[in-house]
Amino acid sequence: MRLSPFETPVVAASTPGASAPGDRRSDARDDLGEQRRYRRMMAALLAAGVATFAQLYAIQGVLPGIARELSLSASTAALSVSAATTGLAAGVLLWAAVADRIGRLRCMRVAVTGTVVLGLATAVAPGLELLLGLRFLTGLVVGGVPVLAVAYVYEQLAGPRAAVAATVYISGTTVGGALGRLVAGPLGAWAGWRSALLAVGLLSLVAAVLFLWLAPRERGPRGGATQPSAGGARSPGTPGRIRQALKPARLNVLYLQAFLVTGSFVAVFNFLTFRLEAAPFFLPAALASLVFLAYFAGTASSRLAGRWLSRRGFAWTSLCGVLAMIAGLAVLLVDRLPAIVVGLLLFTAGNFMSHAAAVATVGARAGEAFRGQASALYNIAFYLGSSVLGWLLGLAFDSAGWLGMSCGIAGALLLVVVLNVVELRRAAGR
């Protein structure tokens, strides 16, 4: 009998090699268990991203309120963002080393719990010094999640399921960052920045409890430790792999680009609300904080970057993103609210396009032996750009206003344009 493409033959139990009914039931139970584990992991990773990144970035939505209450300049208030991202950069390699000893899931549990506790404490910090100290510790603790989450996924799941779960985690960080800012901003205008941070802390607490409850236990050996090679030799330890990841010039270009692009992007979002609350806009704080909705422009541009990257390569894709950022920066100079919206959407979409292309290219350019270290170094450069360059550009905002800061950002982005053009010419000369 001829079978259609949608039919499968029925094999009798007596056929040699066929599975017994009991075996088939056992296989079905195992598959159902794997499906449940997969769904629990996706929900847990989403919750982890919300719990940590809502705390990390919520304070960006209430910077004007902090500046008013503590009598600070805009750049000094923005140190509360820089302190956290500096702590995160400092914690990346530390968490990777600790996870080799106690396991990735245990580290992530400590990180998520610690983030919530420190976030709640930040809301009641009496002065700037303690506020900055708590923010640095928050970033240090948050670092245990992004550096370990994707590795945890790929150790516990296989194939397409692992890729989907990793994507869900990235979505969780995006949702958490946007949610923290969008909750804190309007609530801070109504009830004060401390109440706003407490509210985000309670939201993160709910997400943290969900993560602790849902995250499946690790199975198999703990990942990350240095293993002997097939020939009996041991691969280089962490310091040796870091040195390997610092040698290729084309990787160092990506680290520099992460520093420059991220610092420019964070500076715009740190200080735009200050500009919108002043002349000639005089927007209420709750309305000014809605600028963070522009983050969702990055969702579309990141996906577009993925398609362009496979067709046109890194340099072309990244160059398009950076040129969009420069165009958006120019439009942001216009003192009209519609221009601000258009410019911010362009600037944000361009940032995420460039970042998505760079993240994917780091993995492609790094050797298998030091791919994890190259990714860690990219993240360190990313968060150092946010903290150091984001703060330095704030000094320009304090002294020369939005125009002065924009000139500094334009200089940083033009350097990235040069780097991308050189890469394009190198690729064309092959």
Mind giving me the DSSP string for 242-309?
HHHHHS-HHHHHHHHHHHHHHHHHHHHHHHHHHHHHSTTT---HHHHGGGGGGGGHHHHHHHHHHHHH
Express each pLDDT in 382-411 by its tens digit. 999 999 999 999 999 999 999 999 999 999
pLDDT at residue number 413: 98
The answer on pLDDT for 175 being more than 90 is no
Listed in sequence order, the residues at least 6 apart from 278 whose beta carbon sits closer than 8 Å to its beta carbon are none
Express each pLDDT in 105-155 by its tens digit. 999 999 999 999 999 999 999 999 999 999 999 999 998 888 788 778 777
pLDDT at residue number 225: 45
Listed in sequence order, the residues at least 6 apart from 249 whose beta carbon sits closer than 8 Å to its beta carbon are none
- C-alpha closest to that of 257 among 401, 422, 139: 422
Express each pLDDT in 237-260 by its tens digit. 668 888 898 999 999 999 999 999
228 DSSP assignment:
B
- C-alpha closest to that of 122 among 57, 210, 207: 57
Position 163 confidence tier, pLDDT thresholds 50, 70, 90: low
Q: Buried b vs exposed e over 124-135: b needs ≥16 C-beta within 10 Å?
A: ebeebeebbebb
Distance of CA 77 to the CA centre of its chain: 22
Mean pLDDT, the chain, integer: 85
Handedness of CA 172, 139, 147, 104 (dihedral sign): negative
Handedness of CA 291, 44, 108, 130 (dihedral sign): positive
Q: Looking at the domain 34-219, which fold is it?
A: Growth Hormone; Chain: A; (1.20.1250)
| Structure token pair of residue 244 | 């390997």
Span of 6-10, 87-91, 128-132, 301-305 with lowest mean pLDDT: 6-10
Average pLDDT of the segment spanning 312-334? 96
pLDDT at residue number 230: 37
For 194, other C-beta atoms within 10 Å of its C-beta total: 17
In Å, how far are 27, 133, 174, 183 from 113, measured between CA atoms?
Answer: 37, 18, 19, 21
The answer on pLDDT for 232 being more than 50 is no
pTM to 2 decimal places: 0.81
Q: What is the DSSP string of 113-158?
A: HHHHHHHHHHTT--SHHHHHHHHHHHHHHHTTTHHHHHHHHHHHS-
CATH class of domain segment(s) 237-430? mainly alpha
| Structure token pair of residue 424 | 């394009």
Listed in sequence order, the residues at least 6 apart from 335 whose beta carbon sits closer than 8 Å to its beta carbon are 280, 281
| Structure token pair of residue 228 | 């002997």
Average pLDDT of the segment spanning 287-309? 83
**Any idea how long the chain is?**
430
The answer on pLDDT for 371 being more than 50 is yes
CATH topology identical between 34-219 and 237-430: yes
The answer on pLDDT for 32 being more than 70 is no
The answer on pLDDT for 221 being more than 70 is no
Position 338 confidence tier, pLDDT thresholds 50, 70, 90: very high
pLDDT at residue number 97: 81
Q: Give dist(CA 428, CA 422) in Å, integer.
A: 10
Q: What is the dihedral of CA 407, 259, 316, 332, to 10 degrees?
A: -30
Per domain, the residue ranges of the chain are 34-219, 237-430
193 DSSP assignment:
H
- C-alpha closest to that of 361 among 420, 413, 301, 425: 420
Return the amino acid letter for 306: G
Average pLDDT of the segment spanning 211-221? 81
pLDDT at residue number 231: 40
| Structure token pair of residue 413 | 């982005």
pLDDT at residue number 22: 56
Please indicate whether residue 272 or residue 296 has the higher confidence score (pLDDT).
Answer: 272
pLDDT at residue number 218: 76
Average pLDDT of the segment spanning 27-53? 80
